[in-house]
Structure 1
Amino acid sequence: MSDLRVGARHIQSFLDMPACPYDSLANSAGVSPSSIALVDDWGHRISYRELLFRVDGFASWLHSERGVRAGSHVAVLMFADVEFAVALYALSKLRAVCVPLPTKYRKPEIVSLMDSADITHVICDERFESWAKDFPVSVEGLVVSRGPEDGDGFAGMSGDAFLPEAPALEDPAILMFTSGTTSCSKGVVLRNYNLMHAATVYARLMRTVPTDSCLIPIPIYHVTGLIALLLQFVLVGATTYLQRFFDARRVLECVRDEEITYLHGSPTSFAELLPLRPEFPYLPSVRAMLSGSSYEPVEKMRAFHAWMPTASFQVVYGLTETASPALLFPYDSPTSVFAGATGKPVPGVEARIVDEDGREVASGEAGELQLRGACVSEGYYRRQDPAFGVDGWFATGDIAYANDEGMVWVVDRKKDMINRGGEKVWCSALEEVLSEVDGVSQSCAAALPDELYGEVPIAAVVREPGSTVGEDDIKEALAGRIAHFKIPVHIVFVDKIPQTRGEKPDRRAVSDAVRAQISGHSNAGHSS
């Protein structure tokens, strides 16, 4: 790690990291051209030599035929296909800004994001071509991937080689939208140094090597799929398997058949794997698992340790604003005395916890987590926000505390803390205890407005297969473990925990479901 000046910023980072994603691909292709870079949903295996060839040809075509230049804002509305990677790395070569958009969104939402990002060009899958008339670009600004199942969705889109301007670490590279759980989505500007530092941090801390392989069955337009997996694995010259949609059985079949070594997902995606353990009892290839995006209950981590005892299970905390990694549990979490903690700051990132007046709190005291460093964005696109301080500190909006050894526990979003008549209830802590109740597979705690207390805790629960556990059973089990004021006053049973489009638990939806249940009971009583 060395002191670097990037633009107006001073950071601690790696002197030997590539200047941009394209350079990392070119390096890997030069070292191991015949190694497999990508395997798509149809089984096409693309070597590093082939991937670089496609990227170079597509970049030349975009430059000569579509006028993409340094600084162009190019929306990429595509699934986790080889073509997504080709577009991403081609835009990096051109020094254009890639704007990945969520394929789960509806047309009005996509158009709104495009309008706010000053889009000049759109690269999309053919499934979205019918929306093109509403895109804020000309016909010449639209590029459509057709027939990726046949092996090359950009067939015929290749130009003569040319030498672009050399990339710089401070170049804006990706404009990625937050999932908008607290407000409308914000466009986060991630520069080359944010991306390459993040990918390098993952590779070094996780000891990723060219013989490793990962799987991306999660959205590739968010930081986990795009940076923590794709960029990291291309950086080291390893293999990435791409799946357009998440299906737990297909994930485990791929892990077994292709001997995947590395898994990174959300607590929800990991929870959906656990019931299939009897079908896949032995998965010896897996050496590392990372869980992020929301709180991972300790009991679930221990269940994975029992299933794959030779693999480490680590928690990672990050945001779109931190290009993914900010805190990482440094070793196997379920076997640690600190199980349940989030982790320590990754190299190149500083963390502090402050009170409402901005003063750092003492060890063990809760406050707002703030971050500063090489992974942290410099701000939102065309939007001033007080979360980004003038001194480089970013206010996460998450409540955390730390011990004397620097281990950090992220306990909740500020807005997700339940205030029951002055008593504080942390949603993550309540979910941890719920996960220990027999018959409970997953849970999501939330707040419900209350005339007497202001707010009271509630929860949505997914039962384990075959379980008949009821609301009274759960409350009785909790009564011996937590204070009375922390016990959910209402529990609804669901088939799946509702999620935001950012793959996080949707606490508002849980609150709405409980209100609907209460209203239904009231109406039934009134009508009788």
Structure 2
Amino acid sequence: MYQELDQAWKQLTSPGQMFEVTTVDVRGIPLRAYANAPPSLREFWLSTAGHGDNEYLVYRDERCTYRQAHAFTASIANWLSVNGVQPGDRVAIAMRNYPEWMLAYWAITSMGAVVVGMNAWWVAREMHFGLEDATPKVLIADAERLQRFTDIRDDFPGLKVVGVRIDHDLPAWATDWYELINAPAEMPEASVDPDDDACIFYTSGTTGKPKGAQLTHRGCVTNLLNVAFVNSVQPAALALARGESPGGQSAPAAPSALIATPLFHVTANNCVAHAVTLTGGKMVHMYKWDPAEALRLIEAEKITAFTAVPMMAREIMMHPDFATRDTSSLQSIGGGGAAMQPDLVAKVGENMRGARPNTGYGMTETCGIIAAVSAEFFVDRPTSVGRALPTLEARCVDPSGEPLPTGDIGELVVRGAPVIKGYLNRPDATAETIVDGWLHTGDIAYMDEDGFIYLVDRAKDMVLRGGENVYCAEVENALFHHPAVAECVAFAVPDERLGEEVGAAVYLAPGEHVDAAGLREHCKEHIAPFKVPRYLWFVDQPLPRNANGKFVKRDLREQLRVEDAS
């Protein structure tokens, strides 16, 4: 079937085909791109008006069609324009996965402004950093985020604020969301360049401060077509392997996707929401993750695609309701944001009636996916994340940046149209991460003779907790803020549910005292709850160091036992 995969890949990307690949010059670097990609998210969104009365956004008993969504986005964009937002200006969104997130997103990007996706987990201090770094003209926030902003509002006197789903009296300094959607439905004219910023998504920083990745319109629409390519090439290859014509397959029905991960990340926003919107499908939102509710929605809404972090797929299949709920509508189940364990790949194949396993490997810095694999290809190679997609060159390099032979392990670097412009206000970090157009992923990998990528380790000091990046420096900085802490290191602890959890070893200053509960409460004042160490070890000796004076985390991890943690 790999010969058929090569054949389908070549056919779909050849001249005159939908996924024809060309080369474009971006900031002086020749990059792979799709010849037929729309020039911007504005053109893409406006093109979906033809989906008309198809259901688009579903939340509890609320339902919104494409026709209604286009009217709402035109109204929102009009209000923003009247209130001083111009192309290139930034508008921050801070909320749960409400339908308003997507409506605001399409309105902002379609008028040529820039979405600042704020992590809904952020505490007020982190929110302050994001607003100060991105300098948006408007903040659109739900009730919880609005309350956090209230604590720091005095530092942002000129920021216009819009309140979404406010269940109490709206502050006098905020505007109600209903004013936006009731504005005249007239989308402002805008000329959007493919290399203009579309959105700023924040990634955790190795120095303890988040970095605002600048996702361009070119990058986002290229990722959209990469997802569409994945959904086309592997079924076409399997059809060829069965002796069928790939073009003879009936067109699949518009998908129905359950949005289970945050829309301020590329997995849910760029890979799921964009792809569903392209095909006129339906997005079903959840207030928060709950496997029982997910199973109910899969049955009730006839969900066809479930893409989330692997632990969510595992929890669905392990839940007591799994045996009694109808999940036959599911055609694919899998995810990204964390490695999908080989046993889970097998369990999907064994337990799901019609769904096939899939996984995508990507980064915020590539506007979404780098590689993907599904169905029989994934079952056959469950430890792989698939091939790099047509618009991305990929190779493994040694510490000096030299390419390595096939099969040799090194850092994975990629280059192509989906790679971000850089990090907002961080030319140093941009220059370190993107060299001659090549993005250094920080992941250690090797590639086989068929071009399939296998991840081995991470070069970056990071915990990947349920799809959320937690850089150890962030955790350590928060711990060091406590006066009793003399030394500390944070590191990843394997976790069956989340993939990894945050652990930390702490050495207290002589004569000082703080217990685990007190230290965790302290951390919550400085970092989001998911970054707070679940495992804490209080050691009675200074932490081990190497000859350069750096803490030796690997040795610590091997010495410390989970059962001894507080």
Q: Provide the aligned C-alpha RMSD in A.
A: 3.4
Aligned partner of 2:355 in structure 1 is 311
Aligned partner of 2:41 in structure 1 is 21
Of 152, 168, 174, the residue aligned with 2:193 is 168
C-alpha contact 2:433 2:440 (8 A) present in aligned 1: yes
Q: What is the deviation of 1:309?
A: 4.4
Residue type of the alignment partner of 1:12: R
Classify 1:515/1:331 alpha carbon distance in 2 versus 1 (closer, same or farther; 3 Å): farther
Of 299, 310, 330, the residue aligned with 1:286 is 330
Q: What is the deviation of 1:101?
A: 0.6
Of 413, 431, 449, the residue aligned with 1:404 is 449
Q: Does 1:33 align with 2:22?
A: no
Of 304, 308, 322, the residue aligned with 1:265 is 308
Classify 1:204/1:56 alpha carbon distance in 2 versus 1 (closer, same or farther; 3 Å): same
Cα distance in 2 for partners of 1:307, 1:523 equals: 35
- 1:426-485 deviations in Å (ceiling 9; x for gaps): x99xxxxxxxxxxxxxxxxx9xxxxxxxx9x9955559xxxxxxxxxxxxxxxxxxxxxx
Aligned partner of 1:83 in structure 2 is 100
- 1:480-520 deviations in Å (ceiling 9; x for gaps): xxxxxxxxxxxxxxxxxxxxx9999x7x9476359699699
Residue type of the alignment partner of 2:195: E
Classify 1:356/1:85 alpha carbon distance in 2 versus 1 (closer, same or farther; 3 Å): same
Aligned partner of 1:213 in structure 2 is 256
Q: What is the deviation of 1:134?
A: 1.9
Classify 1:510/1:363 alpha carbon distance in 2 versus 1 (closer, same or farther; 3 Å): farther
Aligned partner of 1:53 in structure 2 is 71
What SS does the corresponding residue of 2:368 show, helix, strand or coil?
coil
Cα distance in 1 for partners of 2:151, 2:322 equals: 47
Residue type of the alignment partner of 1:273: I
| Structure 2: gaps (5+ residues) | 1-20, 169-175, 233-250, 465-471, 473-488, 498-526, 541-558
Q: What is the deviation of 1:523?
A: 12
Cα distance in 1 for partners of 2:167, 2:279 equals: 25
Aligned partner of 2:178 in structure 1 is 155
Of 429, 433, 444, the residue aligned with 1:388 is 433
Of 121, 131, 134, the residue aligned with 1:104 is 121
C-alpha contact 1:459 1:510 (8 A) present in aligned 2: no
C-alpha contact 1:210 1:237 (8 A) present in aligned 2: no
Residue type of the alignment partner of 2:214: V
Aligned partner of 1:422 in structure 2 is none
Higher RCO structure (Cα 8 Å, ≥6 apart): 2
Q: What is the deviation of 1:27?
A: 1.2
Cα distance in 2 for partners of 1:203, 1:148 equals: 39
Cα distance in 2 for partners of 1:413, 1:287 equals: 32
Aligned partner of 2:91 in structure 1 is 74
Residue type of the alignment partner of 1:13: A
What SS does the corresponding residue of 2:254 show, helix, strand or coil?
coil
Residue correspondence of structure 1 range 50-449 to structure 2 within 5 A? 50-64=68-82, 66-130=83-147, 131-132=149-150, 134-135=152-153, 136-138=155-157, 141-147=160-166, 154-157=177-180, 158-160=182-184, 161=186, 163-180=188-205, 183-207=208-232, 211-276=254-319, 279-280=322-323, 282-329=326-373, 331-336=375-380, 338-384=381-427, 385=429, 386-415=431-460
Classify 1:518/1:289 alpha carbon distance in 2 versus 1 (closer, same or farther; 3 Å): closer
C-alpha contact 1:73 1:98 (8 A) present in aligned 2: yes
What SS does the corresponding residue of 1:245 show, helix, strand or coil?
coil
Cα distance in 1 for partners of 2:358, 2:262 equals: 20
Q: What is the deviation of 1:124?
A: 0.9
C-alpha contact 1:194 1:374 (8 A) present in aligned 2: yes
Q: What is the deviation of 1:180?
A: 4.0
- 1:168-214 deviations in Å (ceiling 9; x for gaps): 21111101101347743111000001111111211231249562111
| Structure 1: gaps (5+ residues) | 418-426, 429-445, 447-454, 464-500
Percent pairwise identity? 23
Classify 1:289/1:520 alpha carbon distance in 2 versus 1 (closer, same or farther; 3 Å): closer
Cα distance in 2 for partners of 1:292, 1:213 equals: 18
Cα distance in 1 for partners of 2:565, 2:32 equals: 61
Classify 1:515/1:214 alpha carbon distance in 2 versus 1 (closer, same or farther; 3 Å): farther
Cα distance in 2 for partners of 1:292, 1:76 equals: 23
Classify 1:393/1:249 alpha carbon distance in 2 versus 1 (closer, same or farther; 3 Å): same
Classify 1:390/1:297 alpha carbon distance in 2 versus 1 (closer, same or farther; 3 Å): closer
Classify 1:226/1:181 alpha carbon distance in 2 versus 1 (closer, same or farther; 3 Å): farther
Aligned partner of 2:551 in structure 1 is none
C-alpha contact 1:354 1:370 (8 A) present in aligned 2: yes
Q: Please report the TM-score for the alignment, with normalisation by the length of structure 1.
A: 0.76
Q: What is the deviation of 1:162?
A: 5.2
Cα distance in 2 for partners of 1:303, 1:502 equals: 33
